[in-house]
Each structure stands twice: as structure tokens, then as C-alpha cells.
Chains A and B, each alone.
Chain A
Amino acid sequence: MTDLSEAPHGQGAPTTRGRAADFWRRYVRNRSAVAGLVILLTVIAMAALAPLLYPADPFSLAGRPMSPPMTGQFLLGSDTLGRDIAAGMAHGARTSLLIGVVATLVAVGLGVLMGGLAGYYGGWIDDVLMRLTEVFQTIPSFIFAILLVAVLTPSIVNIIIAIAVVSWPALARLVRGEFLSMRNREFVQANVVMGMADWRIILVQILPNCLSPIIVAASLLVATAILIESGLSFLGLGDPNVMSWGFQVGAGRTVLRRAWWIVTFPGLAIMLTVLAINLVGEGLNDALNPRLRERAS
């Protein structure tokens, strides 16, 4: 990482460890971002420990249906079929995080590809790709996601595809903007003159220099992806073999009057998780783009 491309940044080239320490110092300055990180780590721990804490299938009937919280063996009560809400929530955390992260990775891949090509090459490629992006941004994305899952049949993979397909356009625009501003910088021009292959310039030279806005946008995308997933499974479009928070809320909504807890707790889990990810995203933004922060305040 000490080649010419570092020159625009390189004032005394700090070590990786020094940079990580810098990053962490700026991150912890934002108190709410630290709180978000703590909540997020708790959710991750819950997801990781789910098979140990609740080894039984979360769909299995664990006891008397519609038991209120703190009765019998149920910490958070049971649903209409006697399934343990707490067990479902622990297993649901796995689903939400998995879908959120993988769908975001796919969307980032698509967005970087589209935005990178459009920004790097410009001209008609840019025109065509941006027109395509515009079409995808016009389409009501949630209805499009519903349609995709309905047509492809509900499964984890198809839900991930649907979420990625509706999420990439915003990222493509961001990446295109970054690439446009980098395209004519001297270090890029130098690489072009040196005869470096386009794909290498795109991936090895330009991309690493626009990573921070991409990371921030991606972290917020995870939150949106989790919200979309919960909406889909609430409507009954979740993978029928996998427990999820949206499904739990959807299953409990008919008995809202008699059993408030079935709907309340999984919904709270979604809210807290998404809130935590948004806070972490803001913290990342402050830590990765310190100059931006100073300008804003």
C-alpha cells in the first residue's frame, strides 16, 4: 500500500495500527454510535447462541398456546400454536442478520459494478446504465420485491435476490459520483498512461479510494434490507422453513386483542436492531469521514 496511488493522502503514511486506533478514537467520540454497537453485538450474540439456548426447532410446540410472558417456561410468552416467542426471536435474529448482510453484499456488488462502469467509462455506457438505474428507482421498490418473491417462490435465496435487486440503484449512483470525481485525478491518469488494464485501475486504484462512503452506505443498506425482509415475511412471503421476526408479528396479528405480547416483542427486536445499525452507520460516517463532520457542525 505504499505505491504512487497513496500520494494524494500520504502525509507521513500512518501505520495500519495507528489508523485503526485513530478510527476507534473518532468512533467512540460518538456516544450513540457506541450504544448502537452494544445493541448490535447483543443481537449478534443472540443469533450465534440461538442453537445453544433454544436447541429445539423454533416452529415446534413448546407448551400451552397463548401463555402470557413470564408464565411457565416462557420468558416472553407463547403464540397461538404454543410456540416459544423468545426461541423464535433468537432464531429470527439469525434470519434477519443473514438476509440483511448477504442481500447488502449482493447489492453492493451490483452497485459497484454498475456505478463503477458508468463513472469510469462515461459516454454512452454511462447514459445506458444511468437510464437503467432511473427505471429501477421509479419502480415502487417494495411492490417490486413482493412481485419478485411471489414469482420466484419464497425462499431465503429468492428473498435475498429480491432485496438486492431493489437496493442497488442508490449505491450505483453513489459509486458513479465517486468514480467521476476520481476519474481525472493524477494518480488515475498516471495508471492509464502506464498502460494498466481498465479493470485493474477500477478495482485496485479507484475503488479503494472510495471505500469509506460505500461502507457507510452499505451499513445503512443492511438496516433497510432487514426492514424489507420483515415486511415481506409479515405479508407471508418469508421462507416457510425459517423463523423470522416479521413472520412472528404476522402470525400474531389476528389475536392482537387477546395476546399483545406475540406482536410486541418481535417488533421491538426489529426496531432495536435497525436502530442499532443506523447508529453504527452514523458512527462509521463520523469516523471514516472526519473532515465532513467538521464541515457540518
Chain B
Amino acid sequence: MLGARLAFILRRTLQAIPILLAIVVINFLLLKLAPGDAVDVLAGEAGSATPEYMAELRAKFGLDQPLPVQLFNYMAKVAVGDFGWSFRHEMPVAELVLQRLGPTLILMGATIVTAVGVGSLLGLLAATGLNTWRDTLISVLALVSYATPLFWVGLMLILVFSVNLGWFPTSGMETIAAFHTGWDRVWDILHHLVLPATTLSLFYLALYARLMRASMLEQSGMDYVTTARAKGLSDRRIVYRHVLRNALLPVVTMAGVQVSSLIGGSVIVETVFGWPGLGQLAFESLFARDLNLLLGIFLLSAVLVLVVNLAVDILYTVLDPRIELR
């Protein structure tokens, strides 16, 4: 059994490689699509550069080679973790991007936990109170949060909870001047985290609530539920011990699929709340016209999606042993 699982993990990892290669190629094409190259940027910053000097620089960077050769060189560099140089920050892109990964992971982790937890709970409430005011209210909330742009939710939350009520800070990840340590610091970060995580999770929360509701309803028509009822189990026990566990499976799958759109959402949420993660870095690099950096963030986020999808696949085989390890 363990061997089969290991083989499964290995196979899934191998399957992810062509996708990763394709993403690197897209990255390279985008780089080539952009008007001007690194040498133009350098020459522009230097103020004056002779055409001979620029040609020399191009030869030095390999930019005078044919495209396939350049692509190969680019892939070789990416393979060893060299994502290029950020001309704005005067730093290697890889280093810069890894620095900002932590805050984004905190935000995404908090969002997924909130969305799956609260979403499943709401779905459960809706399914157990089918066609009552509870069900209707949850459906309406879901519809509204599908339609609301993330940045606007964030700004409205700031307006109500920070500006008017003063409960939460408006931006940042921690109180800069406070130099908290230990649990104080954790508490401070959590305090800053509430609004951004709420903003980002609202959409997914609605989605999972609906999914959970549908999934609960589907499961409650299954034979095993009839069996459990025939055995004389109480409704409460049937719902919480049997139906709930099975109904959670599609929610977990969905949560895995959505990591990719979660990263996109975090660009907006981090920009609105000044959360110092990858998303905010992407926003800054947009304005600094730092294409290398933007591409590095893109590549890293795509890798993140692949890794999370893999993790969800593995988690799924643990949650549902019926799944064949193919």
C-alpha cells in the first residue's frame, strides 16, 4: 500500500513537469514579446550608449543568439533557480521573491482555512434547514459575494471596521514601531490579518457553502444513509458522523483547484491592505516596469499552484481510500 502511494506521488510529480516546462516557455515568450530588452533598459538608465556598446552588451547577455538558443539558455538558468536580475531593487529576482513568499503563504493559509471551515459550516446549516430562511439567506449571501469585486470588499471593510469603528488596522502586516516579539508578535500579525483574510475568503466561502449544500443533499440520498437510518441511528448522528465526512470531499478538491485563482486575488487584496507579500511586490513591479521581477512572481506562483495541486491529490487519497492510485 505504501509502495503504491509512493509510486502514485512519483507519477504525479512527473506529470507536472511538462506543465512546468510549458509555463517556463510562456514566460520566455512574454519576455520576448515585451518592447525593448534588458540592454535597452540598461542603456536607458545609463543615459547614453553607443550602438556598438549595446551590441557588445547584447552579445554578453546572449541576446544576439537565435531564439531557440536563447530559450534553452533561459531554461537552463531557471532550472538552477536563476530568475534574472531586478533592475529596480538591484537584487536577484529569486531572492526578492522568496523574501515575500512568507506573508503571502500566511494570507493564503488563513484564507483557505476560513473559507473551507466557515463555508462548510454554512453549507451544512443550509442543507439541514432546507428551504427555510436560513437556506435562503445563505443563498443570497453567496450570490452577492460572487458578484462583488475583491478590491471593493476590502475598501468597504476598511471603511467600516478601520475608519469608522477603529477595530482593525488599515494596512500592513505588523505594527512597525512596536518591535513585538514572541506571542505579542503573533497576536499583532493576527490582528492585521483579520480584514485581508476575510476579504479574500468571502468569495470562496460562498462557493464552498453552495458546494457543501449540494454535496450534503446528494450524499443524504445514498444507500448508506438509508442503512444507517434502518439501523436506528439518530438523524444528528447520521448527519455528523456519516454524511458530513463524505460531503467534505468535493469541497477539498475544489479548494485545491482554486489555489490558482486565490493567488490572483491576493494581488488585489495585498495591494488594498498593504500586505507585504508577492501580490504587493507584483503591483510595485508593475509601476516600476520591472518585467523580470513580474515574470519571476508569475513563475513562482505557477509552481506554487502545481505543488498545492499535488498535495491535494495526495491528501485526497488519504481521505478517500476508494480512489485508485492511478
Q: How large is the interface on A (under 10, 10 to 19, 20 to 34, 35 or more residues)?
A: 35 or more
Hey, what's the 0/1 contact readout for B220-252 against A, CB within 8 Å counting as 1?
A: 000000000000000000000000000000000
The answer, among A140, A153, A256, for a CB contact under 8 Å with B305, is A140
The answer, among B163, B268, B286, for a CB contact under 8 Å with A150, is B286
Asked if B144 and A275 make an inter-chain contact with CB atoms under 8 angstroms apart, the answer reads yes
The answer, among A146, A271, A279, for a CB contact under 8 Å with B152, is A271
- CB-defined contacts of B26 to chain A, threshold 8 Å: 135, 139
Complex alpha-carbon distance, A227 and B19, angstroms: 27
- Decide yes or no whether A54 CB sits under 8 A from chain B: no
Query: Does more than half of chain B's interface fall in helix, strand or loop, or is it mixed?
Result: helix
Closest to A142 in B: B264
Complex alpha-carbon distance, A269 and B18, angstroms: 42
Chain B nearest CB, measured from A263 CB (Å): 5
Complex alpha-carbon distance, A132 and B156, angstroms: 39
Closest to B214 in A: A296
User: Given A138-B309, A139-B26, A151-B33, A249 and B19 touching (CB < 8 A)?
Assistant: no
Asked if B263 and A143 make an inter-chain contact with CB atoms under 8 angstroms apart, the answer reads yes
Closest to A32 in B: B143
Asked if B302 and A139 make an inter-chain contact with CB atoms under 8 angstroms apart, the answer reads yes
Complex alpha-carbon distance, A263 and B147, angstroms: 16
Closest to B286 in A: A150
Chain B nearest CB, measured from A281 CB (Å): 11
CB-CB contacts below 8 Å: A97-137 with B:
131-132, 134-135, 137
Complex alpha-carbon distance, A139 and B152, angstroms: 24
Chain A nearest CB, measured from B160 CB (Å): 10
Asked if B282 and A152 make an inter-chain contact with CB atoms under 8 angstroms apart, the answer reads no
Asked if A271 and B163 make an inter-chain contact with CB atoms under 8 angstroms apart, the answer reads no
- Decide yes or no whether A260 CB sits under 8 A from chain B: yes
Asked if A267 and B156 make an inter-chain contact with CB atoms under 8 angstroms apart, the answer reads yes
CB-CB contacts below 8 Å: B265-297 with A:
265, 267-268, 271-272, 282-283, 286-287, 291, 294-295, 297
- Decide yes or no whether A141 CB sits under 8 A from chain B: yes
- CB-defined contacts of A152 to chain B, threshold 8 Å: 33
A-B contact count (CB 8 A): 135
Asked if A260 and B286 make an inter-chain contact with CB atoms under 8 angstroms apart, the answer reads no
Complex alpha-carbon distance, A249 and B156, angstroms: 11
Chain A nearest CB, measured from B156 CB (Å): 7
The answer, among B18, B149, B272, for a CB contact under 8 Å with A131, is B18
Which of B26, B35, B147, B163 has most A Cβ within 10 Å? B147
Complex alpha-carbon distance, A132 and B18, angstroms: 10
- CB-defined contacts of B146 to chain A, threshold 8 Å: 274-275, 278
Asked if B149 and A150 make an inter-chain contact with CB atoms under 8 angstroms apart, the answer reads no
Chain A nearest CB, measured from B291 CB (Å): 7
Hey, what's the 0/1 contact readout for A255-282 against B, CB within 8 Å counting as 1?
A: 0110010011001001110110011000
- CB-defined contacts of B156 to chain A, threshold 8 Å: 263-264, 267
Asked if A270 and B149 make an inter-chain contact with CB atoms under 8 angstroms apart, the answer reads yes
- Decide yes or no whether B314 CB sits under 8 A from chain A: no
Chain A nearest CB, measured from B283 CB (Å): 6
Chain B nearest CB, measured from A291 CB (Å): 18
Asked if B155 and A134 make an inter-chain contact with CB atoms under 8 angstroms apart, the answer reads no
Complex alpha-carbon distance, A274 and B260, angstroms: 22
Closest to B153 in A: A267
User: Given A143-B263, A260-B159, A236 and B149 touching (CB < 8 A)?
Assistant: no
Asked if A146 and B144 make an inter-chain contact with CB atoms under 8 angstroms apart, the answer reads no
- Decide yes or no whether A66 CB sits under 8 A from chain B: no
- Decide yes or no whether A187 CB sits under 8 A from chain B: no
Complex alpha-carbon distance, A131 and B16, angstroms: 11
- Decide yes or no whether B306 CB sits under 8 A from chain A: yes
Hey, what's the 0/1 contact readout for B26-62 against A, CB within 8 Å counting as 1?
A: 1000100111000000000000000000000000000
Asked if B294 and A138 make an inter-chain contact with CB atoms under 8 angstroms apart, the answer reads no
Asked if A253 and B260 make an inter-chain contact with CB atoms under 8 angstroms apart, the answer reads no
User: Given A134-B19, A150-B286, A143 and B155 touching (CB < 8 A)?
Assistant: no
Chain B nearest CB, measured from A264 CB (Å): 7
The answer, among A143, A237, A267, for a CB contact under 8 Å with B149, is A267
Chain A nearest CB, measured from B272 CB (Å): 7
Complex alpha-carbon distance, A60 and B281, angstroms: 33
Chain B nearest CB, measured from A201 CB (Å): 31
Asked if B152 and A140 make an inter-chain contact with CB atoms under 8 angstroms apart, the answer reads no
- Decide yes or no whether B298 CB sits under 8 A from chain A: yes
Asked if A256 and B286 make an inter-chain contact with CB atoms under 8 angstroms apart, the answer reads no
The answer, among A135, A150, A249, for a CB contact under 8 Å with B291, is A150
- Decide yes or no whether A231 CB sits under 8 A from chain B: yes
Known: A145-B264, A271-B144, A271-B148. 18 other contacts (CB 8 A): A134-B19, A138-B23, A139-B23, A139-B26, A142-B264, A142-B265, A146-B282, A147-B30, A151-B33, A151-B34, A151-B291, A236-B286, A249-B151, A263-B152, A263-B156, A275-B143, A275-B146, A278-B143
| 9 interchain residue pairs of minimum CB distance | A142-B264, A267-B152, A275-B147, A274-B147, A140-B263, A135-B22, A151-B34, A140-B260, A271-B148
Enumerate 30 A-B pairs (CB-CB under 8 Å) in ascending A order.
A132-B22, A138-B302, A139-B23, A139-B302, A140-B260, A141-B260, A141-B261, A142-B261, A142-B264, A142-B267, A143-B267, A147-B298, A230-B149, A230-B151, A231-B150, A235-B286, A246-B149, A246-B151, A263-B159, A267-B148, A267-B151, A267-B155, A270-B149, A271-B149, A272-B147, A274-B148, A274-B149, A275-B144, A275-B147, A279-B143
